[in-house]
Structure 1
Amino acid sequence: MEKLGCLTHLFVTVFLTAFAGFVAMPAITDVTMEALCPGKDECSLAIYLSGFQQAVSGIGSVLMTPLIGNLSDVYGRKSLLTLPLMLHILPLVVLAYSRATSFYYAYYVLKIVASMVSEGTIQCLCLAYVADKISEGKRASAFGLLAGVSSAAFVCGTLSARFLSTAQTFQTAAFSAMAAAVYMRIFLQETTRETDASTRILLKSEPSSSSDDSLTKKVQVFKKIPTINDIKNLIGSSKTFSQVAVMVLFNSLGEGGLQASLMYFLKSEFHFSKNQFANLMLIVGIAGMVSQLVLMPMLLLVTGEEWLLRLGLLVSSTTMILNSIAWDAWVIYAVAGLSVFGIFTNSCMRSIASKQVGACEQGKAQGCISGIGSLANIISPLFFSPLTATFLSDKAPFHFPGFSLLCIALCMAIAFIQSLMIRTTPKISGNMVA
């Protein structure tokens, strides 16, 4: 019951945080276009700026996510979760105040800074927190439940955005982000690894001067910063973990390209606005919520994580192919319903990876996986943003507005091929990486 209560507080925190991001998402494309290219449905500047933001945020995430995940193994998930939740508030407050061009650029800068720390980090710490509390046999379902909470926030956020004005949308988002940080600090129980024997010896040694204590603590913090060799050793410690890393890389390349391409494709080809974006996201959100909270726990008992992972990647690549050749808006809406099967991917990959490391390395492992995803987010906009801008413009080498979406499907297909070769193995107990 105590563990269930801890997870309930975590789920509330995740819901409020995710709701803050998702309620603002349908409006952000219109706000960006209005600030940068008023009155137009196609704007290369908006595409390039969004791609630059995604790439720079990815660079920060590659550095910060493994570091914060590693430190959380020692100093607790709650302590390390505070910073990204606080930074998540700032850009939303700016747009809640005004959406004028100057305020948009202020939002843009703050969003980059916040994303460098919080993008990937929040998910990494929440997954590590769940892994601390849940046994291996139930971990995939628990990860799916966590993703289901995010999907529920997605549904509530996009449904709310459908009925709120643009100003009210960002005001609601800012309030929800503040509520998440406050709730987490008050109610979430800390987890820490400082009770490990080796840590007790280091931190509770014989009495010494205060300066020696301070120096010892600084050395311990410094020693917990992961190096490239640490990450290489972690990936190489298990064939299964390295296979998951490859799948995460290519799947994240596809997802990053989707983030850089899809909304601008829909805006240009089908003249989508805030309400149409909200309708589409609502379909995806409901499908994800049903998938994670209902279908996944049942299917796991029958198929296991490996087959669910393969199904999710196959469906994801197929939906991108269909989106790339969509001839009418209804095709986009119909394809969105297939995401009920594509949502399985991330939870299954995270669960498989978590079982390859010891109990004291969950933050390190999840941070490593998030860091690989962030690396893909650096690469993908450098390729997909120019590709999208080119094929949506009058200077395209041939007429295929959805060509960037077809390339996204290729990335996900490569991840699917890798999933066919994966064979899960029992976890490696103890600390694998020095």
Structure 2
Amino acid sequence: MEELSGLNHYLFVTVFLYNFSMFMVIPAITDVTMSAICPGKDKCSLAIYLTGFQQAVFSIIGLGTLVTMPMVGNLSDKYGRKALLAVPMTLTIIPLGVLAYSRERNFFYLYYVLKTLTAMVCEGSVHCLALAYVADNVPEWQRASAFGVLSGIGSSAFVCGTLSTRFLSTSSTFQVAASVAVVAAVYTRVFLPDSIVKDGLSVPIISEEKLYITKPDGESTRNGNSTQLFKRMPSLEDMVCLLKASSTFSQAAIVAFFSNLADVGLHASMMYYLKARFHFNKDQFADLMVISGIAGTISQLLIMPKLVPAFGEEKLLSVGLFFGCAHMFLYSIAWSFWVPYVAAMFSILFVFSHPCMRSIVSKQVGSCEQGMAQGCISGICSFANVVSPLAFSPLTALFLSDRAPLNFPGFSIMCIGFASMIAFIQSLTIRAAPPISSHRGSNCNHAVA
């Protein structure tokens, strides 16, 4: 795609390096958690509760990511994507560095605390800003394919990261991940151009100079100094208005909530379920992720760009969510160790859902609202991060314990599949709506120096 040439290539390298460092620790973190909390055991309810509690806490502390994600997106609309990307990419290095140094119990708890705190800013921010960056540089009619390519880059990093974990020791895994995270932050700072400098929107975040607001009639008025920054932050009322502005946007938000509710629940429960059910370890987890990642990468980079023009984002969204439900149900009734490997192959189809949903959202807002819109959806997804572990972690712990009410270890995974089914049913009501971003782009109130 010619539209993805030039400065977008720098973004793809940034996204690849960041995701590589994040994904390569996932297969190892379950073993690290179990060995630190319940050494020598394959079942540990405390580890399951701790994982779920961590996911909930980092979304609740402070204002919560329901507010922080739209705020990050809104700030990037004013000050540029690059300036905001530097913050989460730098903070990400800290918890990885702790486990790179040691994985003993005290260091694990230190990692746990730091991960919880940094995740309030880091979790979802890089992906949200990358989507807004692509929307800045790709025309509306190719955004679904472009978002698919961006997701494909993330999937390829997922494959490379988890595959490297397969051949590294646990200590080396965290050392390499921390090193790559440092490289990603430096690369972003040095090489990545800011996508909205060309529009004259980027101004320094820390500045004592006066800012001017351009009104719809073209008149510029003085708006004080940079201390006015917090007065221009998006409020909950702004987000509600954004959701009400388009029925398509609000429907996509509902899909995003239930889809992420299921995805986070599956991520938090699946590895503990497989460890208890089939005694999987780091290597088997990595194998599963590599299979899923390769299938998803091929689909997003090669198949999806050809299917979007033929079928449209709305139909592919429903297809992706349907197969997402199917693979969760298959996990829940796995009767042999090879069944999860078959379920992982379903990623060739369920990976359609996320980029299609983001593309639908992108077309419903103006050119200077991309960060705010993507941040709003990311905030809703983060709110699902709060609800999901509270709902599914206790259920998973119960049915993997000796006091389970019935012998059905995959019961919680099946319940997660039903949450995904709600998203699928809601997606069937979304109808193709004419893009309105071109009509709203001229009404933006830009801050210019």
TM-score range (shorter-chain normalised) is over 0.9
Alpha-carbon distance in 2 for matches of 1:170, 1:19: 12
| Larger CA deviation: 3-12 vs 35-44 | 3-12
Alignment of 1:49-88 (within 5 A): 49-59=50-60, 60-88=64-92
Alpha-carbon distance in 1 for matches of 2:238, 2:389: 28
Alpha-carbon distance in 2 for matches of 1:225, 1:216: 15
Q: Residue 20 of structure 2 aligns with which residue?
A: 19
Q: Residue 278 of structure 1 aligns with which residue?
A: 286
Alpha-carbon distance in 2 for matches of 1:204, 1:305: 39
Q: Residue 289 of structure 1 aligns with which residue?
A: 297
Alpha-carbon distance in 1 for matches of 2:270, 2:195: 39
Alpha-carbon distance in 1 for matches of 2:58, 2:18: 18
Gaps of 5+ in 1: 206-212
Alpha-carbon distance in 1 for matches of 2:296, 2:3: 28
Alpha-carbon distance in 2 for matches of 1:233, 1:159: 44
Structure 1 residue 298 displacement after superposition: 1.2
Q: Residue 421 of structure 1 aligns with which residue?
A: 429
Alpha-carbon distance in 1 for matches of 2:82, 2:157: 21
Q: Residue 225 of structure 2 aligns with which residue?
A: 216
When residues 330 and 3 of structure 1 are mapped into structure 2, their CA distance, relative to the original with a 3 A threshold, is closer
**Are positions 1:360 and 2:336 aligned together?**
no
* Aligned AA (2:6): G
TM-score by length of 2: 0.91
Tell me which of 401, 413, 418 is aligned to 1:405: 413
Deviations 1:112-146 (A, max 9, x none): 11211011111110000000011101111110010
* Aligned AA (1:275): D
When residues 196 and 214 of structure 1 are mapped into structure 2, their CA distance, relative to the original with a 3 A threshold, is closer
Alpha-carbon distance in 2 for matches of 1:371, 1:82: 19
Alpha-carbon distance in 2 for matches of 1:424, 1:53: 38
Structure 1 residue 398 displacement after superposition: 1.3
Q: Secondary structure at the match of 1:149?
A: helix
Tell me which of 194, 200, 208 is aligned to 1:195: 200
CA contact (8 A) 2:137 2:195 kept: no
Percent identity between the aligned chains? 56
Tell me which of 373, 376, 392 is aligned to 1:384: 392
Structure 1 residue 56 displacement after superposition: 1.5
Q: Secondary structure at the match of 2:92?
A: helix
| Larger CA deviation: 370-379 vs 395-404 | 395-404
Structure 1 residue 202 displacement after superposition: 7.1
Q: Residue 114 of structure 1 aligns with which residue?
A: 118
Q: Residue 182 of structure 1 aligns with which residue?
A: 186
CA contact (8 A) 1:230 1:433 kept: no
Alpha-carbon distance in 2 for matches of 1:45, 1:433: 50
Task: Looking at secondary structure, tell me which structure has more helix per residue.
Answer: 1
Deviations 1:268-290 (A, max 9, x none): 11111110000000001101101
Q: Residue 169 of structure 1 aligns with which residue?
A: 173
When residues 306 and 91 of structure 1 are mapped into structure 2, their CA distance, relative to the original with a 3 A threshold, is same
TM-score by length of 1: 0.94
Tell me which of 116, 123, 129 is aligned to 1:125: 129
Deviations 1:362-417 (A, max 9, x none): 00000000000000000000010100000000111111110111111101111110
* Aligned AA (1:99): R
Alpha-carbon distance in 1 for matches of 2:20, 2:326: 28
Alpha-carbon distance in 2 for matches of 1:73, 1:180: 22
Q: Secondary structure at the match of 2:24?
A: helix
Gaps of 5+ in 2: 203-208, 214-221
When residues 292 and 103 of structure 1 are mapped into structure 2, their CA distance, relative to the original with a 3 A threshold, is same
Q: Residue 218 of structure 2 aligns with which residue?
A: none
Structure 1 residue 2 displacement after superposition: 9.3
Q: Residue 430 of structure 1 aligns with which residue?
A: 440
Q: Secondary structure at the match of 2:285?
A: helix
Alpha-carbon distance in 2 for matches of 1:411, 1:335: 18
When residues 55 and 389 of structure 1 are mapped into structure 2, their CA distance, relative to the original with a 3 A threshold, is same
Alignment of 1:131-170 (within 5 A): 131-170=135-174
* Aligned AA (2:180): S
* Aligned AA (2:5): L
* Aligned AA (2:349): F
Over the aligned positions, Cα root-mean-square deviation in angstroms equals 2.0
* Aligned AA (2:368): C
When residues 192 and 409 of structure 1 are mapped into structure 2, their CA distance, relative to the original with a 3 A threshold, is same
Structure 1 residue 61 displacement after superposition: 2.3
CA contact (8 A) 2:80 2:201 kept: no
